[in-house]
Amino acid sequence: MPTDGEVPVTKSVQVCIEGKVQGVWFRAWTEQQARALGLNGWVRNCPDGSVQALFSGPAAAVDRMVTACHDGPPNARVTSVTPDPAEAPDQDGFQIRRDGA
């Protein structure tokens, strides 16, 4: 926790999650978890069968979300989670993207 006058460190990462991650409610689970942690960003399915997400917010919350993605929802079978540094999104809140873009 920051002390009075300290600003929490903000972190943004783009994550590629591979394995059995589509058709198992991974995006809805990610949205729920990210919102509970107060993160901004988005999650989407990719044509190659992976899921991609952007998480932005307090560094500790982003780290918790990335760690949680290693397990995912009950029916997911995650084989890899690859985070890369990213720019913060230009929107507040967290959303599911369905456009594949």
Cβ distance 30 to 42 under 8 Å? no
Active site residues: 27, 45
How far apart CA 34 and CA 90 sit, in angstroms, is 16
Residues 3-38 as b or e (16 or more Cβ within 10 Å = b): eeeeeeeebbbbbbbbbebbebbbbebbbebbeebe
Is beta strand 51-58 parallel, antiparallel or unpaired with respect to 40-45?
antiparallel
